[in-house]
Amino acid sequence: MKYATASLVAAATVSQVVAVYQQCGGIGFDRPTACDAHSVCTAINSHYSQCLPSSIPSAPSAPRSSLIQLGGVNTAGYDFSVTIDGSFTGTGVSPPPSQYTHFSSQGANLFRIPFAWQLMTPNVGGPINETFFATYDKTVQAALNSGSNVHVIIDLHNYARWNGAIIAQGGPTNAQFASIWTQLAAKYGRNDRIIFGLMNEPHDLPSVPTWVKSVQFVVNAIRHAGATNFLLLPGSSFSSAQAFPTEAGPDLVKVTDPLGGTHKLIFDVHKYLDSDNSGTHPDCTTDNVDVLKTLVQFLKQNGNRQALLSETGGGNTTSCETLLNTELSFVKSAFPTLVGFSAWAAGAFDTNYVLTLTPNADGSDQPLWIDAGYVGKKGGRVAQIDFVDSTQCGQDRVSREKGREG
């Protein structure tokens, strides 16, 4: 957005100049290849070159704002068949649009919509597949339209990998990683109800500091593309809330925002409640309160930063109803340090999935959705999520494949 004026001026004086972050070359490319004065045509791969900044331009200004308290659900489907090595062989499944009004009518105001990197850009670092994007965007708009205060996390669900290779550590370059986000920034960069989830669950990283440099690179690229959205910064060990204070957290708190300040950089953490913190068992064994207290203490001691629990959940069992209720009560009480939560999972999962929150065919909810405190019950009717007033001031995840159709 911020380059619109410069591009118009350039078009009036120099013909056929390509704007920053647009395609400028590649096999079969027959459009203009000369970048504007502030960028250089950079080969991402043999099929795609992109105009990338030759120097750091002035970042767009943005008014300071804060996120409201958030609570809701992951609506999976476009991530189905993504494995923890970042490979993908599927076609994606659209979450039912009716779920968004179903959950938002009960007070949910956050939906996380994961997608496979390979669906959005079939070639790493290449252009967005506009056919897939049109399908994905219909889902995003359905979620946004379900309530005036509903927020959406667009979640790149690839475990810091592309087909088995780790970003900037033997796999895609930082520029290729940034490419998908600068393109999404051009589409969603002025919608303050869309949150960018930079990467789902990085894990088994040879170098955590190198990963943090990749995060900083992408933050810079998103801002220089003109986007002012809140950004979710993931750590390591499957975004472990437990590992964050001692593993990735000390480096991630040093990531800077070209907008100024750090209030739009939110840390992305996950924590399940089963015996091995994998999110693959129906029973829960912990309420995670001690882990989350340690996380809150770390965040407060490091500049009063914020985190969002974008994945948590359990089975429809008595143990999970009790322990999840305790966990979510703590998350709600820890606002604004903990911005909120997004439960795993509904969307295209069927009602037999071990952690399903997908409503039944008759429109009734799973017991966990009601009894664990995602929503409340009053007089037998589902009531709105009981948040505190928004104005008031892990063990490593085991290797698993969530990305399969329920």
Q: Quick one: three-class SS letters along the chain?
A: CCCHHHHHHHHHHCCCEECCCCEEECCCCCCCCEECCCEEEEEEECCEEEEEECCCCCCCCCCCCCCCCEEEEEEECECCCCCCCCCCCCCCCCCCCHHHHHHHCCCCCEEEEEECHHHHCCCCCCCCCHHHHHHHHHHHHHHHCCCCCCEEEEEECCCCEECCEECCEECCCHHHHHHHHHHHHHHHCCCCCEEEECCCCCCCCCCHHHHHHHHHHHHHHHHHCCCCCCEEEECCCCCECCCCCCCCHHHHCCCCCCCCCCCCEEEEEECCCCCCCCCCCCCCCCCCHHHHHHHHHHHHHCCCCCEEEEEECCCCCHHHHHHHHHHHHHHHHCCCCEEEEEEEEEECCCCCCCCCCCCCCCCCCCHHHHHCCCCEEECCEEECCCCCCCCCCCCCCCCCCCCCCC
Side chain identity, residue 212: V
Q: Are residues 137 and 262 in the same domain?
A: yes
CB distance 278 to 400 below 8 Å: yes
Tokens 């940034």 locate to 178
Is 239 domain-assigned? Answer: yes
The answer to whether 154 and 193 have CB atoms below 8 angstroms apart is no
On whether both 13 and 136 belong to a single domain, the answer is no
Residues 351 and 287 in one domain: yes
Residues contacting 391, CB < 8 A, separation 6+: none
Q: Which residues contact 345 (CB under 8 A, 6 or more apart)?
A: 73, 74, 75, 76, 313, 353, 355, 356, 357, 402
Residue 399 lies in a domain: no
Question: In whole angstroms, what separates CA 298 from the centre of its chain?
Answer: 22
The pLDDT of residue 29 is 78
Residues 6+ apart with CB under 8 A from 141: none
Residue 213 has φ and ψ, to the nearest 5°, of -65, -35
Residue 393 lies in a domain: no
Residues 44 and 122 in one domain: no
* 247 in any annotated domain: yes
- pLDDT, residue 103, reads 97
- What global pTM score does this model have? 0.83
Euclidean distance between CA atoms 176 and 172, whole angstroms: 6
Does 218 reside within a domain? yes
Are residues 362 and 305 both part of a single domain?
yes
Domain extent at residue 362: 85-383
What's 94's domain CATH number? 3.20.20.80
What pLDDT was estimated at residue 377? 39
Domain assignment present for residue 313? The answer is yes
Residue 234: inside a domain, yes or no?
Answer: yes
* Residues of the chain with confidence (pLDDT) below 70: 1-15, 20-21, 37-38, 44-48, 53-65, 375-406
Pair (44, 144) in one structural domain? no
CA 196 to chain CA centroid, nearest Å = 5
Going by C-alpha positions, the residue among 293, 240, 234 that lies closest to residue 268 is 234
* Number of domains comprising the chain: 2
Residue 287 lies in a domain: yes
Closest CA to 235 of 258, 255, 256: 255
Residues 160 and 104 in one domain: yes
Answer whether 162's CB lies under 8 Å from 203's CB. no
Are 49 and 90 contained in the same domain? no
Is the bond preceding residue 345 a cis peptide, omega within 30 degrees?
A: yes
Asked if residue 253 lies in contact with residue 305, where contact means CB atoms within 8 angstroms, the answer is yes
The whole-number pLDDT of residue 57 equals 38
185 and 300 in one domain?
yes
- Residue 191's φ and ψ, nearest 5 degrees, are -105, 105
Residues classed as catalytic = 201, 311
Same domain? For 119 and 194 the reply is yes
| Amino acid 394: pLDDT | 29
Same domain, 174 and 45: no
Alpha-carbon distance of 166 to 211, in angstroms, equals 9
Gap between the Cα atoms of 300 and 52, Å rounded: 36
* Structure confidence by residue, pLDDT tens digits, 349-388: 999 999 999 999 999 999 999 988 886 433 233 333 443 3
What is the per-residue pLDDT for 17? 74
Same structural domain, 146 and 286: yes
